[in-house]
A = this chain, B = another copy of it.
Amino acid sequence: AASSALLCQGALAATLNTQQLKTLENLKKDALNSDTSYQIIESLTTEVGARMVGTEAEKKSVTWAVNKMKALGFDKVWTEPVATPKWHRGEARVSIESPYPHTLVALALGGSVGTDGKTLKAPVVQFENLQALKDAKADSLKGKIAFVSYRMERHIDGHGYGMAVGARGAGAAIAAEKGAIAYVMRSVGTDTNRVAHTGGMRYQDGVKKIPGLALSNPDADLLLNQLKRNKPVIMSLSLTANPEPDAEVTSYNVIGQINGSELPNEYVTLGAHLDSWDVGTGAIDDGIGVGMTLAAVHHIAQLPQRPKRSVRVILFAAEEIGLFGARAYAKAHKDDMKDHVIGAEWDFGNGDIYQLTPGVGPSALNNIRDLATLLAPMGVSLSSENNAKGQSDMSALGRAGMPAINFDPDGSDYFDYHHTPNDTLDKVNRDALKKNTAIYTMFSYFAAQSDVDFRK
């Protein structure tokens, strides 16, 4: 009944013919009934776990990915080297010394320097947000520890992240410019757990590098409650991060595809990143992306016939420390980027997908409407925008001219777990995962079986 309803939808343009629509409907059923994407995440998190750039586990993840793609029926699997910096987190020991001693839960921000074996002890100066820190007078933080207490807001599309993450990237450099000896911030996260959220930060040329750390939300609350009492709050802080400054290592993008039956040199691309931070097992960020993209291609590979175009999965290296894998891919594939017909990343957990936003040529928009019609029964609506440039890693390919589709999931709880020790397998919603995998499978088949030029 579902498939006949679909075939009768008069609104469908002619992107796929009746037989192809039937195949697509079967693929949807396969994916909705399959646990494959979950099993891939289970395997990655159990057999590899955390896989931060430069670690043994990251090397293992590359082998794991190559083997997994082969086992899942990919036609061609290879790796491409990526030069990346390496950073070692070390241990953070942070506490309030006075007026009321407390041990605080903290994590270094990615890229932070350590304290060279010393323990810093200094008064804390609090700022409501990054702007307030920027507004502080020159030299006003001399010998102090700056603390930005801004709390990230929870929103379905995760836009609270954008409002909060600036303090993570730039806070330490700005604090250092004004004389601070260390920088601590409330974690960029929406949870109330006693675990901190890590994530990348940047130094500025010519500005002293000072340690940057994130406190868990409850610890930031506690620090605020002490500050409220109008007595000097003295913090002590030591961090063994980054014993190998400027170390560079080679990592690998892992790439696999099924070869198109008619247009093998045109690539529908699915992206996710293989690396993770070291604190959880990277189930959510981005094990789910790995599971969904590999499973989508696996389901299509089970068909008696390959679709016209190739479907390529790129598992990017070194996303967390600054999209190094994506940039390396865009550079290496400068000449054949024109053959990347369209791409979608998955790097945003697994809330239900509620919207798709294309970034295609005006005439291809008709075909995107066909896709949206096919996905509407799954709760996916079509955005009125046509400006997607690709999410996460795929933004590098989008900037290089590849058309993109963004699939937008309910991200309300994504930042409860993001970049924390809590990013583990039990957080994966198996039902939403099946549905989202089905959507990626359908999109991949749709784009690969058609011969639409998404640039036009």
Contacts and interface: CB of A to CB of B under 8 A. Distances in A.
Interface string A210-238: 00000001100110011001000000000
A205 B226 CA distance: 46
A426 B192 contact: yes
A295 interface: no
Contacts of A226: 46
A193 interface: yes
Interface stretch (A69-77, A353-361, A370-378, A417-425): A417-425
A411 interface: no
A103 to B, nearest CB: 8
A195 interface: yes
A225 B100 contact: no
B424 A194 contact: yes
A427 interface: yes
Contact of A217 (B100, B192, B218, B426): B426
Range for the number of chain A residues in contact with chain B: 20 to 34
Nearest to A217: B426
A102 B281 CA distance: 9
A123 B4 CA distance: 56
A170 interface: no
A101 B194 CA distance: 24
A218 B422 CA distance: 8
A48 interface: yes
Interface string A25-55: 0000000000000000010011111000000
A105 B42 CA distance: 19
A40 B318 CA distance: 48
A361 to B, nearest CB: 44
Interface string A94-114: 000001111001000000000
B42 A425 contact: no
A192 B429 CA distance: 13
A91 to B, nearest CB: 11
B102 A49 contact: yes
B222 A425 contact: yes
A280 interface: yes
Contacts of A425: 218, 221-222, 225
A45 B222 contact: yes
Interface in A398-456: 420-422, 424-427
A193 B280 CA distance: 11
Interface in A148-203: 192-195
A153 to B, nearest CB: 16
Nearest to A102: B49
Given A47-B100, A421-B105, A194 B192 contact: no
Interface of A: 42, 45-49, 57, 99-102, 105, 192-195, 217-218, 221-222, 225-226, 229, 280-281, 420-422, 424-427
5 contacts: A46-B225, A49-B222, A57-B101, A193-B195, A225-B425
Given A46-B229, A195-B195, 12 more contacts: A42-B225, A45-B222, A46-B100, A46-B226, A48-B100, A49-B101, A49-B222, A57-B101, A194-B280, A194-B422, A222-B425, A225-B425
The 10 closest A-B pairs by CB, nearest first: A218-B424, A194-B421, A46-B225, A192-B426, A194-B422, A47-B100, A49-B102, A218-B426, A193-B193, A221-B426
